[in-house]
Amino acid sequence: MSEFLFGSHVISRSVVFFQSRLSYAFVNRRPILPGHVLVSPKRVVMRFADMTPDEVKDLFIATHQIVPAIERHYRGTATNIAIQDGKEAGQSVQHIHVHIIPRKQGDFENTDDVYKKLQSHDKDDSTKFRSPEDMAQEASELAELFK
């Protein structure tokens, strides 16, 4: 597959750094913090409960592999693992995904501000999208962690 669908977005293979049978992980175009990445089922599935048990298993096993590698790579000491399941829970892309956000002391003034930022970061036009080149560069560095 040369590209993936993330809801209505086309995700180029160049920004994908991890694949399993049913899931894929890619870098964020507007990360909250360095290393904020996303893991999704390959099939376009809107809500958590829409996934098959096989997809759930595969997504969580993928997340379990990715979290420690990302935390180490970005020299984090903790990680937020978050799913916004449905519009009222903050979901903006209609394709279920796990946010992985490596954390370290002092990255936000108040640790839990990450949740406010999760609500606003992709709706606030003051933050520009990263360039495809920048995203591809990060994805190729991260892909090395899984070889």
Beta carbon nearer to ligand AMP, 128 or 147: 128
Nearest approach, Cβ of residue 37 and ligand AMP (Å): 9
Nearest approach, Cβ of residue 103 and ligand AMP (Å): 16
Choose which of 13, 56, 108, 122 interacts with ligand AMP (CB under 6 A).
122
Nearest approach, Cβ of residue 135 and ligand AMP (Å): 7
Nearest approach, Cβ of residue 139 and ligand AMP (Å): 10
| Residues 66 to 105 in contact with ligand AMP, rule: CB under 6 A | 84, 90-93
Beta carbon nearer to ligand AMP, 29 or 58: 29
Residue with tokens 């049913």: 22
Q: What is the largest CA-CA distance in the chain?
A: 42
Q: Is 9 in the site for ligand AMP (CB under 6 A)?
A: yes
Contacts 24+ apart (CB under 8 A), 39-43: 39/63, 39/66, 39/97, 39/98, 39/100, 40/4, 40/6, 40/95, 40/96, 40/97, 40/98, 41/95, 41/96, 42/1, 42/4
Euclidean distance between CA atoms 31 and 36, whole angstroms: 5
Pair type for strands 23-27 and 37-41: antiparallel
| Nearest one of 28, 23, 22 to 9, comparing CA atoms | 28
| Residue 9 is among the residues annotated as catalytic for this protein | no
Query: Which of the residues 36, 95, 97, 99 is marked catalytic?
Result: 97
Q: Which residues bind ligand AMP (CB under 6 A)?
A: 6, 9, 11, 28-30, 38, 84, 90-93, 122
Q: Which residues are known to be catalytic?
A: 97
